[in-house]
Chain A
Amino acid sequence: MQTSSDLAVSVRDLSKTYRLGERDVLHGSLRDAIVRGARAALHLARGAARPDREELAALGGVSFDVPRGEVLGIIGRNGAGKTTLLKILSGVTDPTSGEALVWGRAGALLEVGTGFHPDLTGRENVFFNGAILGMKRREIQRKFDEIVEFAEVERFIDTPVKRYSSGMQLRLAFAVAAHLEPEILIVDEVLAVGDAAFQRKCLGKMGEVSGQGRTVLLVSHNMSAITSLATRCLWLDQGRVRDLGDPAQIVADYLSGDAVSAQPGFADLSDPKLRDGVPKQTSKEVLFDWVRLVDDEHKPSDVFFEGDPLTIELGLESTIDSRRLEVLCFVRSLQGVLVFTLTSGLLEVDLQPGPAELSVTIPRNQLRSGRYTLDLYLLTAQPQDYLLGAKTFEVVVSPEPGGDPRRVRDDLGLVSVAQEWGELRQGTPNRV
């Protein structure tokens, strides 16, 4: 049990209930309200119970503590209550019951560019957006040049933002957000938008300014962001806490559960439409039927940790006899960069009509965290089948024990290689 002085946020039995159809009911006209009121009065007069309205519990009794300095990742499916939780903590909406205690200045970022007005110039929007996010005028003035430089929009700062490209708008909005300095930062999915390079720049900026002691609550569907940034992870499921603890463990459970797809790690490749538009002539006598990714415990999964083993199992369907078989697996980053290719070489086989299976294991996958796709190519004497984007999977960081996860970089390239560093030597000039 932590003493309260170590805590930044304490949430106790927090619930939020929406009346179903509340929007419709309340958006109804005044006349409807009067009619409804009269009906209700009539019901009461007759001694009848008021008809129960259906209720939806967006949050059903959530409790957890966030120590100061912690980065709490919050994951869960759509509708699990993540955003509702953040909205309550940031004061946008009220809980129905329970309470939350917040120590220190909290700044919430539920949306990028809150209050941006298309007719206002970049400069004007920076000031209003900064103010609404909780910055003082002097603070904005002090950081203004930095924000503009960060957003890379110097030349257009006095142009209405409606003339900006969407990328420029986003960068400017991000730039303001990245310069927030609350003690507790509450961030919704906002980092999911925008290009990856700029996101990284923002995360880096946030980390850099914060120094120590900044508490972050971060909602994300991006599992790499969770495992690389969070010190702990909260898994919300249908408005309740499903699990709370080590991010790597919880992310793995979340992804291998029913959370993502009915059959994790598996893709059915039998649909001929998957071959449409492929820029290679193929005979299609031997086809890929399915692909499955499994981890070292033979558990199918869409997510792998850096450095863990990864096995690709391939199901084939042949209509011919063949003594030769060759398979290539191209691993590409989401940006389309070919990272490496697994090549079977020419295999001497005795392939007969019917199904067949083949697998390849990477004992220690050297991919860095990120999303990757798999292209598959199959040849006998001639090209037989070629599939683009047959399977997508994700590699996540497993934080070093005791290391500060905020210091885990995710901009170090696509692969890690084995390396040995020499000792630091001083005072011995060794230049030849």
Chain B
Amino acid sequence: MEAATVRVEAHVIKPAPRRPRLGLSEVWRNRELLWFFAWRELKVRYKQTLLGVVWAVIQPIMYMVVFTLFFGRFFETYSVGPYALLALSGSVIWLFFANSVTLAAGSLVGNASLLTKVYFPRLLAPLAPIIAALVDLALATLVLLAVMAGYGVFPAPQRVWTAIPFVLLAAGTAAGVGAWLAALNVKYRDVRFVVPVLLQLWLFFSSVFITFEALNLPEPWATLYWLNPMAGVVEGFRWAMLGGVRPELWHIVLASASGLVVLVSGLVYFKRLERTFADIV
């Protein structure tokens, strides 16, 4: 850089503006640091563990076992194959979401010493665990494919790729919820107690161990059900992997729109509070 001849634009430090922004361009400029955050998250998570990344697949398998034990007998008629596959596919994508939200919610408080000592785009903190969780998701998906193969169920090559937008919808929703909770957590440590309750309740409305079809909801509940972005994610991901009844397009649009609202509102709220984090964390 020729600082001597080319005059750089001054960077102005001023009191926080009230105008809400998303701050995504700053995240993009710092994508390398985001990668470092995610990489550190992964490294730290499996350090000094006996089973290491195997933990990423133990969780969904346990869910599958429990769900199958308790609910399996009510679902002997599941069209695609054994109930275990329904439960496992739902658990794999749900746990990606639930773990992302949990880690994102604690990300600012957990990195308090970083917040007060160095500047970085604050949004990197809640986003990093979501990126890291994608790695776990990839492993868990491999296990899902293996179990499917064990039952003689194979994904349709032309359909399996549609899982990707559903994963993105899950990640976006997790980012939105995570941003809300992380920012709130800086102010109110109650969030720590809210997160598990929230996720437990949310699980029941997200088709994780059941299908929308089997629920057979009356209107208006059948429509309202799709306001939950995770209902769209789980149903969509399951269809992409296993096939079966295709979710209606407008249901998916509804879920995506509501996911987008969660994401944008979370980012705006986060951005508004972000400048105070270092003072109150």
Contacts and interface: CB of A to CB of B under 8 A. Distances in A.
Interface of A: 4-5, 10, 18, 22-23, 26-31, 33, 87-97, 99-104, 106, 108, 110-111, 114-115, 117, 119-120, 124, 127-128, 131-133, 136-137, 160, 183, 213
B188 A29 contact: yes
Contact of B32 (A23, A124, A137): A137
Interface residues of B, number: 39
A108 B11 CA distance: 15
A102 B9 CA distance: 9
B7 to A, nearest CB: 6
B11 to A, nearest CB: 5
Contact of A89 (B13, B40, B44): B13
A114 B279 contact: no
Interface of B: 1, 3-4, 7-16, 32-33, 36, 39-40, 43-44, 47-48, 113-120, 187-190, 275-276, 278-280
Contacts of B32: 131, 136-137
Contacts of B13: 88-89, 91, 94-95, 99-102
Contacts of B114: 114-115, 132
A120 B40 contact: yes
A111 B44 CA distance: 21
A33 B12 contact: no
Nearest to A102: B11
16 contacts: A89-B13, A90-B119, A92-B278, A94-B276, A95-B15, A96-B15, A99-B12, A99-B13, A100-B12, A103-B7, A114-B114, A117-B40, A119-B48, A124-B40, A136-B32, A183-B1
Contact of B119 (A91, A128, A213): A91
Of all A-B residue pairs in the complex, the 9 with the closest CB atoms, nearest first, are: A91-B119, A119-B47, A131-B36, A101-B10, A100-B13, A94-B275, A111-B117, A93-B278, A30-B190
A62 B36 CA distance: 36
A132 B118 contact: yes
B118 A5 contact: no
Contacts of A127: 36
B253 to A, nearest CB: 34
B197 to A, nearest CB: 13
Contacts of B118: 90, 92, 108, 110-111, 114-115, 132-133
A104 B8 contact: yes
A23 B280 contact: yes
Nearest to B274: A94
A30 B280 contact: no
Contacts of A136: 32
B36 A213 contact: no
Given A108-B118, A132-B120, A30 B188 contact: yes
A71 B8 CA distance: 20
Given A96-B15, A120-B40, A133-B118, A103 B189 contact: no
B47 A104 contact: no
Contacts of A90: 118-119
